[in-house]
Homo-oligomer: A and B are copies of this chain.
Amino acid sequence: MVSKSEIIEKLKGKQLKVTPQRVAILEACYQLNNHPGAENIIHFIKDHHPHISVGTVYKVLDSLVENKLLKRVKTENGIMRYDAVLSSHHHLYCEETDRIEDYVDVELDSILNNYFRGKKMKNFKIKDIKLQITGKFK
């Protein structure tokens, strides 16, 4: 649970002006936990903020990504989705629906880190490693 004041602090920390729209959008991303797209965010916000504009939502999302308050989630259907959880984690992708859940596993992370520490890739500098696990929820 992330409070509104924490959200405001996050925006300030990035020197971003604290507007009601930005607060609402970032708040929506924290509360909608299934990696929402713009559509989901707009729908969620409309209750408390009926006059928000679609263009604004996209602009704010871009700027939040650029300022590393959100990450984009990779998908294969051409719809952008966003992730407010910034700490290292992996994703479970349902192969039948568009559900995407977080998968956190520190043991796995340490195995991967050890493995890649030793590994030297000639032509690539690794910044982040994420598992993309596809399958089926049961």
Asked if A132 is at the interface (CB within 8 A of a chain B CB), the reply is yes
Is residue A88 contacting chain B, with contact meaning CB distance below 8 A? no
Q: Given A75-B76, A124-B92: A131 and B133 within 8 A (CB)?
A: no
* Cβ-defined partner of A76 (8 Å) among B80, B127, B137: B80
A75-B76, A76-B74 known; A125 vs B136 contact (CB < 8 Å) = yes
> Are A130 and B131 interface neighbours, CB within 8 A?
yes
Number of copies: 2
* Between-chain CB contacts (< 8 Å), 28 pairs: A72-B76, A74-B75, A74-B76, A74-B93, A74-B132, A76-B80, A77-B80, A78-B78, A92-B124, A101-B124, A108-B115, A111-B111, A111-B115, A123-B137, A123-B138, A124-B133, A125-B135, A125-B137, A126-B134, A127-B136, A128-B135, A129-B132, A129-B133, A129-B134, A130-B131, A131-B131, A131-B132, A132-B132
The tally of residues in A whose CB lies under 8 Å from a CB in B reads 32
Chain A residues with a Cβ under 8 A of chain B: 72-80, 92-93, 95, 101, 108, 111, 115, 123-138
Task: Decide: A124 and B137 in contact? CB cutoff 8 A.
Answer: yes
Contacts of A74 in B (CB 8 A): 74-76, 93, 132
